[in-house]
Amino acid sequence: MQKYYIKTFGCQMNVHDSEKIAGMLKSLEYEETNKKEQADIIVFNTCCIRDGVEQKIFGNIGDLKRLKKQNPNLIIAICGCLSQQNGRAEVIKQKFPFVSIVLGTHNLNELKNYIVKFKQTHKRIFDVWEKEKAIDENVEMFRTSNYNAWVNIMYGCNNFCTYCIVPYVRGRERSRKMEDVYSEVESLVNNGYKYITLLGQNVNSYGNDINDGKTTFANLLKLLTTIKGDFRIKFMTSHPKDLNDDVINVIATEPKICNTIHLPVQSGSTKILKLMNRNYSREQYLNLIKKIKQAIPDVYLSTDIIVGFPNETEEDFLYTYTLIKEVNYGGVFAFMYSKRTGTVAEKMENQIDEKIKNERVNKILKLSKSLIKQQNKEMCGKTFEGIIEKELENNKYLAVLHSGKNVIVESENSLPILSFQNIKITNNEASQLFGVINN
Ligand code: SAH
Ligand code: SF4
Ligand code: F3S
């Protein structure tokens, strides 16, 4: 059997798209290999969110020349956000003559046809569609986990945050129908999946494009919790401007929905938020957090931060720093601002020095580490729900809490693998949590 190798760059959306790529390759009778040297076809599913990511991918594509020399029949396909980006397909075409196929995000499902065609004609295929097309519900996929499933609820983004390339490479918001999401989730649950993670660039605007008064994120969540079975729902990403009371209430009241919210703030300075076109102020964000914490006292909050956005002064940065401290996030993903071609921020004056960005990002990483250390200490004595992932040795199991934290659980009774359990944290040593069952 011929073998395929897929390398994924970027976000969860891409990780899930790669499951669709794998589905297409399986249906063409390829089997997976994790060694690219053994592959007959290599697919890079790419990202262009920051320049660093882009440069790394170009480097990785360059490295494939060696493999193509060893195996002239090797097929190399490049898809995803980088190839969708204006002009990049042409760059790949010129710079890397050994690449066989390039396609964008809007025609991902065509990959299968392109491979068949390439095998017949041996002519290089470069096809990037400018516009998004209607949602295709008949996609094959090959899921990488047997208990963790990603489910797209919408595609694209309408927000045009001034730094961000995503709306340019993923098109406008398109929501799947509630009944289509429902049947996918129901079948996943029936097949033993335990975590369903709903995916969208801004899940809180789910249904806005359908605009029938019924298709909303809160209603979707409610509907999915009516599915019978032992499973939990997660979702990402939430946009602070659209996360409303209805959604907060559903999370607070439905035990099947995990109390974890990824709520990127990006900056703690109202001035910078305005320049970013985020549509909320520092005060509005903090009020929202207050509301969430009141409704969901054990909520686990995480965020994304951009430092060094144009015009960010030391004072603006301090606003971000103090906001992170005040919210006391469980997870902080901090990035240095990276100029993206075609975005509004690209043209802004007062771009910030790389050295300053670097200092600021390090300060945030340090702060985040210290917050997490303290949070882990405070977890001792408290009980959290998690899933038993595997047995480590006699009477010891690895459990993963909904927040993603690992806990080593000691239990005299044998614990079913992939069962949800309430775990009381007893100890926290060198950032490893220990616990016992407390059902
Ligand atoms: N839709 C999500 C995630 C988008 S991309 C959201 O709205 O939050 C993930 C993260 O990458 C963003 O949250 C942002 O923090 C970061 N990011 C996006 N564009 C960037 C840029 N030009 N430079 C640095 N970080 C960026
Ligand atoms: Fe980018 Fe903003 Fe859309 Fe997120 S909401 S994908 S940061 S434009
Ligand atoms: Fe995701 Fe990167 Fe595209 S973050 S949406 S893969 S630009």
**Domain extents in the chain:** 3-127, 148-378, 383-437
- Which pLDDT band holds residue 207 (cuts at 50, 70, 90)? very high
Q: pLDDT at residue 221 above 90?
A: yes
Q: What's the fold here for domain 148-378?
A: pyruvate-formate lyase- activating enzyme (3.80.30)
CA 119/CA 115 separation, integer angstroms? 6
Long-range contacts of 94-98 (CB under 8 A, 24+ apart): 95/58, 95/62, 96/61, 96/62, 96/64, 96/65, 98/64, 98/65, 98/68
Cα 135 to averaged position of ligand 1 atoms, centre (Å): 24
| Model confidence band, residue 19 (pLDDT cutoffs 50, 70, 90) | very high
Going edge to edge, which strands form the sheet with 195-199? 148-152, 195-199, 232-236
Question: What confidence score (pLDDT) does residue 354 get?
Answer: 97
CA distance linking residue 131 with residue 331, whole number of Å: 35
Going by alpha carbons, the residue nearest to atom 1 of ligand 3 is: 11
Compute the distance between CA of residue 272 and CA of residue 263 in angstroms, rounded to an integer: 17
Instruction: State which of 172, 204, 306 you would mutate to test the pocket of ligand 1, scoring each by most atoms of that ligand within 8 A of its C-beta.
Output: 306
Tell whether ligand 3 has an atom less than 6 A from the beta carbon of residue 49: yes
Q: Domain 383-437 carries which CATH code?
A: 2.40.50.140
The per-residue pLDDT for 79 is: 98
- CB 157 less than 6 A from any atom of ligand 3: no
Residue 116: the pLDDT is: 98
pLDDT in the model for residue 392: 95
What does the pLDDT look like over 371-422, one tens digit per residue?
Answer: 999 999 999 999 999 999 999 988 999 999 999 999 999 999 999 999 999 9
The per-residue pLDDT for 40 is 98
Provide the pLDDT for residue 431. Answer: 83
pLDDT score of 270 = 98
- Phi and psi torsions of 368, nearest 5°: -60, -40
Place of tokens 């909303």: 216
* Average pLDDT of the residues in 279-307: 98
Q: How distant, in Å, are the alpha carbons of 53, 164, 315 from that of 353?
A: 19, 19, 16
Binning pLDDT at 50, 70 and 90, where does residue 429 land? confident
Q: What angle do CA 371, 373, 377 make, to 5 degrees?
A: 115
Q: Is residue 14 lining ligand 3, measured as CB closer than 6 Å?
A: yes
Across 26-51, average pLDDT:
97
For helices 178-190 and 217-225, the axis angle rounded to 10 degrees is 30
pLDDT at 197: 98
So what's the pLDDT on residue 439?
85
Determine whether the shortest distance from the Cβ of 402 to ligand 3 is under 6 A: no
- Regarding the beta carbon of 292 and ligand 3, being less than 6 Å apart is answered no
**Whole-angstrom Cα distance, residue 233 to residue 46?**
27
Res 430: pLDDT? 81
Tokens of residue 55, six digits: 């440069």
For residue 92, give the amino acid letter: I
pLDDT single digits (tens) 138-175: 898 999 999 999 999 999 999 999 999 999 999 999 99
pLDDT (tens digit, 9 = 90+) per residue, 314-369?
999 999 999 999 999 999 999 999 999 999 999 999 999 999 999 999 999 999 99
CATH number attached to the domain at 3-127: 3.40.50.12160
Give the residue-averaged pLDDT of 269-282.
98
* Residue 22: its H or E element: helix 12-27
**Given this model, what pLDDT does residue 394 score?**
86
Q: What is the pTM of this model?
A: 0.96
